[in-house]
Amino acid sequence: MAFKFNKLVTVVTTCCLLAATEVAAILPGIWFDRFVVVVLENTNKATALGSPYYQNLTTMGMLLDGYQATTHPSQPNYITMIASTIAAGVYDDADHNSTQNNLIDLLEPAGISWRVYMEGYTPSTQGACNTISKNSTTGYVRKHNPFMSFLNIQNNTARCQNIVNAEANFASDVNKGASAPQYMYYVPNLKNDAHDTNVTYAQKDLSNIVDTMLNNKAFMNRTLILITFDENDIYTPQFYGTPNNVYSVLLGNDTLKCYGCYDQQFYNHFSQIVTIEQNWNLSTIPNLDGDGAQWDSWMLPFGMLRNKDEKICANAPCYY
């Protein structure tokens, strides 16, 4: 009997040590411990706000009313979400192989876990990066996967294995709760991101993504979610030359200072990088060109975030 008891103690102790190790692997941030971004396509802010679903999301979070995309066409906008130079030399939608540094070069040394979720993406053999430009069957396109444009990701199998098929991996990763990756980047396929359709069509997929997260209390603990669009619709003649304003909303049960509110500060896609850098006390992204400070030195982080010492849900509803 004593032997069985000692064995039980050993098992329990091992379990607890493993749990402690998992908790220790999470690097706490000032405002959040996890950042999730979901990127949709080519829609004017007014169009998105005219949809009841997207309007309702603003009541559950904070509308970044001064948020703008950085440029046109699509691909440079995605690049500027993870690189601090002007699109890392990428100015069009063609395939590029940049030697610049990127956000992953900050996250990994700090021990911040990350994963990229691409709908319709199929990794190459043994998890290597699949550099295919487009899969017409699944709706995956490389131009919406900014990580694939950097050689220090492309040529690194371990990094490539963090770029995964969204349909097969996102929900199961969210179900890991507190152990889910700390940086999660999600891009729907060409239909579900409104590129080949519209925001009404994209709503079904987006609501599934959002609900998967919001309905998991452990996952949502100190998680900040950004839903944004890559650029506005300048491809319809009546919108030529219009400001590049895009719908962008923050969601987070204990990471926002207010809900159903508006932040009028000017932000753009570079603000994502700055917010991440300052949240985890990281450096700016090293500039291999030696040109000095870049965009992540100049932009402001999102300004209405709640630090971890403030009372959870104070002056705001808990919506899960």
Instruction: Give pLDDT tens digits for 23-43.
Output: 448 999 999 999 999 999 999
- Contact in structure between 222 and 33 (CB atoms under 8 Å): yes
Q: How confident is the model at residue 291, as a pLDDT?
A: 57
Instruction: Classify domain 28-184+196-298 at the CATH topology level.
Output: Alkaline Phosphatase, subunit A (3.40.720)
State the number of CA atoms in the 13 A half-sphere of 80 facing the CB.
27
Write down the mean pLDDT value for the chain. 88
Q: How confident is the model at residue 289, as a pLDDT?
A: 63
- Contact in structure between 34 and 183 (CB atoms under 8 Å): yes
Residue 87: pLDDT band (50, 70, 90) is: low
Residue 227 in tokens: 């839903």
Neighbours of 63 (CB within 10 A): 22
- What digits encode the pLDDT tens for the residues 88-116? 678 899 999 999 999 999 999 999 999 99
Rounded to an integer, the average pLDDT of 152-156 is 97
Helices (runs of H) and strands (runs of E) counted in the chain: 12, 10
**CA gap 41, 222 in Å, rounded:** 27
**CA gap 259, 59 in Å, rounded:** 6
Residue 10: pLDDT band (50, 70, 90) is: very low
Count of residues in the chain: 320
- Contact in structure between 57 and 210 (CB atoms under 8 Å): yes
pTM reported for the whole predicted model? 0.89
- Does residue 150 surpass a pLDDT of 70? yes
**Higher model confidence: residue 100 or residue 15?**
100
Rounded to an integer, the average pLDDT of 155-164 is 98
User: Strand, coil or helix: what is 295?
Assistant: helix
Domain ranges (residues) in the chain: 28-184+196-298
For the chain, the 3-state helix, strand and coil shares in percent, each to the nearest 5, are 40, 15, 45
- Please indicate whether residue 196 is annotated as part of the active site: yes
- Does residue 286 surpass a pLDDT of 90? no
**CA gap 147, 130 in Å, rounded:** 11
Q: How confident is the model at residue 298, as a pLDDT?
A: 81
Query: Could you tell me what percent of the chain has a pLDDT over 90?
Result: 73
**Higher model confidence: residue 20 or residue 263?**
263
- Does residue 204 surpass a pLDDT of 60? yes
Rounded to an integer, the average pLDDT of 228-243 is 77
Q: How confident is the model at residue 17, as a pLDDT?
A: 37
The amino acid sitting at 50 is G
Residue 10 in tokens: 């050993």
Catalytic: which of 196, 205, 263, 289?
Answer: 196
- What digits encode the pLDDT tens for the residues 118-131? 999 999 988 899 99
The amino acid sitting at 137 is T
- Does residue 302 surpass a pLDDT of 90? yes
